């Protein structure tokens, strides 16, 4: 699976990029037909607090799964987005096996 990470209006450090690659690549253990993943990292300035938004678009045969999560850190945002995608992929795999 190809993982492409894009950071909007800032430069992501190598440690964050490695964390994202590691987390997103783990999704292949739940659904092995993933084509690629596009991760977009964005800062949102809402008053005093700067929220970190992670959006993951996962290409699977015949569909695109999109998840957007917000947290105080990019690691937290990516972690919760991967958790949501994990549940969606397991559900999708169960539906496919019933057919």
What's residue 41's pLDDT?
A: 97
Look at residue 16 and tell me if it is in a domain. yes
CATH number for 86: 3.30.160.100
Residue 98 — very low, low, confident or very high, per pLDDT cuts 50/70/90? Answer: confident
Least Cα distance to 69 among 48, 42, 47, 91 occurs for 42
Alpha helices (H) along 1-99? 14-25, 74-98
Sheet holding 36-46, edge to edge: 2-8, 36-46, 49-60, 63-71
Look at residue 63 and tell me if it is in a domain. yes
**pLDDT 10s digits, 1-24:** 899 999 998 999 999 999 999 999
Question: How many domains, the chain?
Answer: 1
What's residue 97's pLDDT?
A: 85
Look at residue 99 and tell me if it is in a domain. no
Residue 49 has pLDDT above 80, yes or no: no
Look at residue 98 and tell me if it is in a domain. no
């Amino acid at each position: 699976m190809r993982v492409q990470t894009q950071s909007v209006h800032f430069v992501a450090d190598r440690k964050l990029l490695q964390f994202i690659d590691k987390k997103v690549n783990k999704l292949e253990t739940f659904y092995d037909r993933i084509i690629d993943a596009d991760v977009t990292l964005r800062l949102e300035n809402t008053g005093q607090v700067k929220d970190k938004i992670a959006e993951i678009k996962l290409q699977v045969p015949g569909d695109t799964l999109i998840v957007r999560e917000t947290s105080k850190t990019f690691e937290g945002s990516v972690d919760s987005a991967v958790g949501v995608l994990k549940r969606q992929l397991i559900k999708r795999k169960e539906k496919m096996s019933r057919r």
